[in-house]
Structure 1
Amino acid sequence: MTCPSLLRRRPGATDDLGDLEQDPAHSVGDVAHELAHTAADQVRRDDALGQFIRFVLVGGSSTAVYALLFLGLQGFGYLAAHVAGTVVSSVLANELHRRLTFRADERVGWLTAQLEAGGVSLFGLVATSVALGWLDSATGSAPAVLQITLVAAVTGFIGLIRFIALRWIFRPTEAVPAR
């Protein structure tokens, strides 16, 4: 699907996409390429939006790791699979957030990041465990897809809280002026 407003620009008009002018020489592919370039530039920035985009990408990746572990370990019961998946995916996410999302690898060590961000992860583990327990008691045996969907929904909400907390934890320290 294409964005009709991008295709209906007036000749000679420019916008945030750069100097793409609507003429027969510029195709939808050119517009898509420029959009991808603009998005890639935003992801590289260290402002709140750039960090949030990286946070969501890391969160999505670690959620995929969680889902694979959860499915692979379901033979041990939903709670054991959930705890193992949460621990592994949280350690991975904490490290990726430290290095990629907040670029704090020179300011915050691995162990410190795991301990500080782990507290927020522990809150998420408790919240998702309660949600899974409720689902299990309400349904008796919910399909794995429904369990993962519930965990993803709760984790999405907790993720907003976690973003704010990690942005505060991994913030750059301000230099004290020399006297």
Structure 2
Amino acid sequence: MAVLDIPQRGATPVPGLTDAYSYGTEAIAYGTEAVATGTEAVRTAGVRWTAQLGDWLRSDHALAQLIRFALVGGLSNVGYLLLFLAFYGEGPQLANLTGSIVSTAIANELHRRLTFHAAGRVRWHTAQIEGGGLALAGLAITSGGLAILTNTAPGLGGFAEAAAVLAITAAVGTFRFLTLRLWVF
């Protein structure tokens, strides 16, 4: 093994090292200890930053609530899909109804407890009635928007219709978030 040209122990240390050795492998080992120490400092700072981010995400700031709202919505969509697939053998309408009712009820409860921290202020049945009503209104708006689009532009195509439904759904989701935040919870 080749010996690196590193000053002898006790000589002027290599920049970045507090001491130096004469053999290359020892210098590398010593250098990795310094890197490990630096990594520990970065990890500690990262843990501190992550804790602060976690505290902020649990806060009642509107943006933190919006992030939690989107996460709960995403999880409820996954739940809807799983229920839809589980009940599809009984027919698509029953599968859609079951998936919609169960996933909306779970989402309303998660919004009450996690998104808006309203478990102490809003009772379960109030959240289900008002949140469920908003979900039905959103379903009616998206269905109506799709029907209007289909009648006014029949040859639009699946991709354009899906994009329109996504835009309508985003608008309805924004309205639902604001209504839940300002009125229900």
TM-score by length of 2: 0.60
Whether 1:44 and 2:64 are equivalent positions in the alignment is no
Q: Which moved more, 1:154-163 or 1:89-98?
A: 154-163
Q: Is the aligned partner of 1:99 residue 2:116?
A: no
Q: Which runs of 5 or more structure 1 residues have no equivalent in the other structure?
A: 1-22, 172-179
Tell me the percent identity.
42
Q: Which residue of 2 aligns with 1:167?
A: 181
User: Is the alpha carbon distance of 1:56 and 1:89 closer, same or farther for their aligned partners in structure 2, counting shifts above 3 Å?
Assistant: same
Q: How far, CA to CA, are the matches of 1:132 and 1:69 in structure 2?
A: 24
**Separation in structure 2 between the aligned mates of residue 73 and residue 132 of structure 1, nearest angstrom:** 25
Query: CA separation in 2, counterparts of 1:90 and 1:120?
Result: 10
For 1:25-174, list aligned pairs within 5 A: 25-26=38-39, 30=43, 33=47, 36-127=50-141, 155-171=169-185
1:10 matched residue in structure 2: none
With the length of structure 1 as denominator, give the TM-score of the two structures: 0.61
Please list every run of 5 or more consecutive structure 2 residues that lacks an aligned counterpart in the other structure.
1-33
- Give the number of the structure with larger relative contact order, counting CA–CA contacts within 8 Å between residues 6 or more apart: 1
Q: Distance in 1 between matches of 2:73 and 2:90?
A: 25
**RMSD across aligned positions (CA):** 3.4
CA distance in 1, matches of 2:72, 2:180: 13
Q: Secondary structure at the match of 1:73?
A: helix
Partner residue of 1:16?
A: none
